[in-house]
Chains A and B, each alone.
Chain A
């Protein structure tokens, strides 16, 4: 069973059309949930870290939220430059102090 499941796999939006990406996770103990953005052929670019349920972080048009079972990345009024793959990752204190386990990502396309 996957520890991190992201949905949808792909999402196509019109510029200005707000939406949310989902990351469901299963851990023994959460030692951080991380959101990254990845452009084609590039490394993951750090966006947010969330550590406890109820926590929220914001940056420009992006807002990340966390519950005990899932995290959402809300995108408000997206622009074409927000097009990328968004990755979710968790650090599980149940067996690891360092390792991040990634989901498969959501490929976001924003059309002008």
Chain B
């Protein structure tokens, strides 16, 4: 069964450093998303991406965050200057249609020290 793949599975970074989280969505999906889950808290929406542009973003997704689809298969989330409070599991997801269910990857655990 096709799945969303994310790399790395775990990343440790120094506060203030830039990180790039990578994702390969399911191949025939057109809508891409990033969510995050701080330990013990709800899964929270960050951003959705369609047709090479951001279609929606949350208040969390400020100027420190950016997304990109650099080629036909990868989808990335960049955090320019990480803060301690950015420590969380980051999930990439994709869906076939805008009303469809997002399918999630296994996540990248980001630890900012």
Contacts and interface: CB of A to CB of B under 8 A. Distances in A.
Interface residues of A, number: 24
A28 to B, nearest CB: 16
Nearest to A101: B45
Contact of B102 (A97, A100, A103, A105): A100
A101 B22 CA distance: 23
Contact of B101 (A49, A99, A104, A105): A49
Contacts of A43: 4, 91, 93, 104-107
B24 to A, nearest CB: 14
Contact of B56 (A42, A98, A101): A98
Given A42-B107, A44-B91, A96 B43 contact: no
Nearest to B55: A98
Nearest to A95: B56
Nearest to A2: B42
Contacts of A42: 106-107
Interface string B72-108: 0000000000000000010101000011111111110
B44 interface: yes
Contacts of B41: 104
Contacts of B55: 97-98
B91 to A, nearest CB: 5
A21 interface: no
A87 B90 CA distance: 16
Interface in B27-84: 31, 33, 35, 41-45, 48, 50, 55-56, 58
A57 B98 CA distance: 20
Interface of A: 31-32, 34, 36, 41-46, 49, 87, 89, 91, 96-105
